[in-house]
A and B are shown apart, each in its own frame.
Chain A
Amino acid sequence: MTHSSDFNAEKASNLKVIGTRPARPDGVDKVTGRARFGADMNLPGQLVGRILRSPHPHAIIKSIDTSAAEALDGVKAVVTRDDFAENPDNHAVLCNVMAREKALYEGHTVAAVAASTATIARKALKLINVDYEPLPHVTDVDAAMQPDAPVLHDTIFTSGVDPVPTIPSNIVARCEFGHGDVEAGFAKADIIVERELKTAATHQGYIEPHACVASVSTDGMSELWCCTQGHFDDRKICAALLGIDVSRLRVTASEIGGGFGGKTTVFIEPVALALSRKAGRPVKIVMSREEVFKASGPTASTSMRVKIGVTNDGRMTACDGEFRLQGGAFEGSPFDSAAMTAFACYDLENVKSVAFDVVVNRPKGAAYRAPGAPMSVYGVESVVDEVALKIGMDPIEFRLKNAVRDGSQSSYGPKFGPNGLVETLEAAKAHPQYKTPLGPNQGRGIASGFWFNYGGETCSNLNINADGTVTLAVGTPDIGGSRASMCMMAAEELGIPYDSVRATVVDTGALGFNEGSYGSRVTYASGLAIINAAQQAITEMCKRASMMWDIPADAVTWEDGYAKPSGANAGEFEPMSLAEIAAIAANTGGPIAGHREHNADSAGISFGTHIVDTEVDPETGRVDVLRYTVIQDAGKAIHPDYVEGQFQGGAVQGIGWALNEEYIYGDDGKLQNAGFLDYRVPVASDLPMIDTVIVEVPNPGHPYGVRGVGETGIVPPLAAVANSVSAAAGVRLSELPMSPPRVLKAMDDAKQAAE
């Protein structure tokens, strides 16, 4: 059958289950402690796995002697680089999972042990003798780009430039986006503002550390239980690194205690599998919080230059930005998406956006919610705020004057379709917060932001049970309530109560390949597969009813949970409910199910606008967030509670990025704040309520109009908070986080300059 993903306006305006707020199916397990997360799994005979990590930020590993550790009573296996074959297709992941010639950051895995107890495992780590030759290191992105910087890889010759350099450097690549002629555009400007800005590296900060249990049988059949955003992706990479068939590795995703992009790759999983294979017993590895900070995948720190020209009446004539991102010790910082999203809110004749991917001696970065966008948008929206202020224009009016609309050419090339940026700006203007007077030392900040959203490879199954209930098999881990939205979409299509549907995130043996829960794709892509699977099951149920009535299948329609004759000509029959059809399925052809496999390409783009009021304490530089409103286009909110939750969670992560959070490195190249006390994510007492406004401009590529909502919420807050603090402090800050000492210094410097 053919599946349509086109927006169906009639359907979208007659939804019964979509838009309600039922309790989530996994809720009771989560509030009673019964839900099993990564570290809650145990297998009989399981060993404790522990990892030896490099104390050096950059060092040649001359030799590793594991003999004393192997001789310790209770040690069952030790693995090092010698236990992993070279793998050209996955070289960076392999080198990150287990260091090869060099340790490239403090915390880099060098060896691992499996032992009968944690105490023995810890002792064994101390008995491993690693001969390091320390090398000069670099952790700052700008320093790493200098010609005299220590070079991490002698294989990196900057790509994206012509001619290709003849000597290696830390600059992996340059990319450029844009159109028009920025110099000509600046020539037309009445006012030009150019700023250099910086943001610190931050961590996703999920509360659950990485954890896994691996069990490799003597016949090579392997099982892995882990907390992950994508267990099919984990299977692919683990099988490749271990040299085993994909079919011999079954991965089960546990409940996941937060990810935000940080659990889209593997760290400990291949190590646990290698240990289990060697020991012949299951091995469990759980990261400590310190390991999470030092050796998982934080996001990039950045430095950037942003230049914007405007006319006195508020039209942007040219935008030019250069964004430098370090992605840790291997290529792959989100430099390209930083460049693409930077100016994406604006309809521009002349725009140029250049970015660099840079390696430094820090852990290999992983995705973090709208990767790259919060940083570049921070730079752009800070300068936008400044130019609007300079020409005396209201910041929302300024944005409305320059905002992209349906048909605008994006700053990265393609034309945008229907989108909700203008609607979010109009809603911001109309919001009571925007009209509320401010007191002394208080300021208000506005910023908008963009994210692409993603679809990708997906399959879902829907089974009609004999008792009239429905079970869903979904391949995307439920990271924030998606089982509820899957059940709602199935209930909507089938016309049955929400409570009759249950969804399970199944293991890799039960479905075809699914990309993970990232890119704001789950409700859109897995949900669309569920909608299509339901439609397929409906077709089959109509056929079964037609058999009972002895009329053609196409003379039966589905309405509100019942098969009905499609009209008077079809005959007079009592409608058959889903439960009635399900009860006799064995007699009419066997079990009834629907399934859908697709590569979903029509995820709708998403824009948001945030308003934040802050107060700065002139004595200490401390910033209080007084009031915060998130306005974002969701296309169509399936479960509004969880849409609001995504908005709120993204905003608060952004507040932390703006005010507190940062990776602090010493001159020794070591991370100085690898714990929650010193890293300081926002806590309940730091915050006000986070107000939300859900804008719904339908995605033309989804029958209900759904757009992804997970990531856009973290894009505007860095800039919104910066603009608010700049207004409150009376001085523009150009570096994140805006910690109290930095705010105080900026205010003192401004005071001195004025005197």
Chain B
Amino acid sequence: MVQVNISGIMRKTEDSPTVFEVEAKNIRQLLVNLEKHYPEMKPHLDKGVAVSVDGTIYRDNWFQSIQPDSEVYLVPRLAGG
């Protein structure tokens, strides 16, 4: 199981959970399983998120591997000016 930390717009109330657990070996599985097990996340996932794996932020790379002990955060999709 991978521990997924959420932040930003997905963190809706002071006491809402910030860590979710899903089975995932890569980013695609992570997103698919989050949507399956936590359907309330679907609107945010549909709009687009980036995934930070061990400190590197991936915007689109579905097949980036994730280890069971990887540090995983869902973060906004940012680019810059």
Contact = CB atoms under 8 A, between A and B. Distances in A.
A contacts B: CB pair < 8 Å: yes
B43 to A, nearest CB: 8
A160 interface: yes
Contact of B8 (A160, A264, A519): A160
* Chain B: interface size category: 20 to 34
Contact of B56 (A159, A161, A336, A701): A701
Contact of A261 (B11, B16, B59, B80): B80
Contacts of B56: 417, 601-602, 701
A452 B71 contact: no
Nearest to B11: A176
A188 interface: no
A456 B59 CA distance: 8
B9 A261 contact: no
A386 to B, nearest CB: 27
A710 B79 CA distance: 12
A160 B80 contact: no
Interface in B48-72: 52, 54-61, 64, 71
Contacts of B57: 414, 452, 601
A203 to B, nearest CB: 12
Interface in B18-71: 43, 52, 54-61, 64, 71
B76 A337 contact: yes
Interface in A171-194: 173-177
Interface residues of A, number: 46
A519 B81 contact: yes
Nearest to A357: B9
A177 B7 CA distance: 6
A65 B64 CA distance: 55
A303 interface: no
Interface in A411-425: 412-417
A302 to B, nearest CB: 16
A414 B75 CA distance: 9
A460 interface: no
B80 A371 contact: yes
A454 B8 contact: no
B10 to A, nearest CB: 7
Contact of A336 (B9, B61, B71): B9
Given A161-B12, A371-B80, A454-B80, A601 B52 contact: no
A417 B55 contact: yes
5 contacts: A177-B8, A371-B81, A414-B71, A415-B55, A601-B58
Interface of A: 159-162, 173-177, 204, 260-262, 264, 336-337, 339-340, 367-371, 412-417, 451-454, 456-457, 515, 518-521, 599, 601-602, 701, 710-711
Given A176-B7, A261-B81, A521-B80, 12 more contacts: A161-B12, A175-B7, A175-B8, A340-B78, A413-B7, A413-B73, A414-B54, A454-B79, A456-B79, A518-B79, A518-B80, A519-B78
The 3 residue pairs across chains A and B that have the minimum distance between CB atoms: A261-B81, A519-B80, A367-B81
